[in-house]
């Protein structure tokens, strides 16, 4: 996956086509996005996000960027952890910034999640409206596979991190055990589009989300992309047998 090619699910497309197509998907699913996450994962996404927030570990005085933060589900966790750290250690609580490409997702987040404690903005992960070395940590939860230029987005995350800053990416991945991978494929391609049609009111949008997971780099390949973007000490932690993976890197 480079800046010279792009995919929309299983379709190969011109790179300039992808932003509008992805925007259309998330425009349609924004209102039911959080509910569908619960249904599709059986609630497991909450545990995965809790683990990612704990790994990020916001500290007093820090600026934390939740990139491709959608409706702010991760940001809510980071805010709670930031307030807890302030109570323990004193000082000013970490500030959380959500940037997402989709205005409707941002609007949904503002309406329901810590609107007074989070700075919300519409922006592109491939061209972040932030200065070099301006944040202490960057989080991306289930958003990286929707960008057109994966190396470009990782490079932007690395650019805005201060020296010693950390990057945490939570993304659907590939179970290494063949039997689990086959079961996961059967569930994904048969049940998730049905849930999308019945609850999300959009079968095609959720079929795209499933296909985008299958086209996304696996654990080892994403780790390589992170290292090429300049991250150090890259590590991978599998959740639920590799259905989801947490990648972490450092700006050193």
Write out pLDDT tens, residues 148-202: 999 999 999 999 999 999 999 999 999 999 999 999 888 888 888 888 788 777 8
When the pLDDT of each residue in the chain is averaged and rounded to a whole number, the result is: 91
Q: How far apart are CA 238 and CA 14, in angstroms?
A: 32
Burial environment of residue 233 by CB neighbours within 10 A (0 to 12, 13 to 18, 19 or more): exposed
* pLDDT confidence band for 134 (50 / 70 / 90): very high
Write out pLDDT tens, residues 200-215: 778 888 888 889 989 9
Write down the CATH number for the domain with range 6-250.
3.40.50.150
Query: Can you give the pTM of this predicted structure?
Result: 0.90
Domain regions of the chain by residue span: 6-250
Residue bearing the bigger pLDDT, 161 or 110: 161
């Amino acid at each position: 996956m480079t800046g010279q090619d792009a995919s929309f699910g299983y379709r190969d497309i011109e790179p300039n086509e992808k932003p509008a197509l992805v925007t259309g998907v998330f425009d349609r699913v924004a209102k039911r996005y959080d509910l569908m996450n619960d249904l599709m994962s059986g609630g497991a996404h909450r545990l995965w996000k809790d683990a990612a927030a704990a790994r990020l570990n916001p500290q007093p005085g820090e600026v934390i960027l939740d990139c491709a933060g959608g409706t702010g589900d991760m940001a809510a966790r980071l805010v709670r952890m930031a307030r807890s750290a302030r109570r323990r250690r004193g000082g000013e609580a970490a500030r959380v910034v959500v940037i997402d490409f989709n205005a409707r997702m941002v609007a949904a987040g503002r309406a329901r999640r810590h609107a007074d404690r989070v700075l919300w903005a519409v922006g592109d992960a491939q061209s972040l409206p932030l200065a070099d070395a301006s944040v202490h940590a960057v989080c991306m939860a289930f958003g990286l596979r929707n960008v057109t230029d994966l190396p470009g987005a990782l490079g932007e995350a690395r650019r805005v991190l201060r020296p010693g800053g950390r990057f945490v990416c939570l993304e659907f991945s590939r179970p290494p055990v063949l039997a689990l991978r086959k079961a996961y494929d059967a569930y994904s391609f048969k049940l998730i589009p049905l849930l999308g049609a019945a609850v999300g009111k959009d079968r095609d949008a959720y079929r795209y989300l499933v296909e985008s997971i299958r086209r996304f780099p696996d654990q080892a390949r994403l780790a390589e992309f992170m290292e090429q973007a300049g991250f150090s000490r890259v590590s991978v932690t599998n959740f639920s047998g590799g259905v989801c993976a947490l990648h972490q890197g450092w700006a050193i």
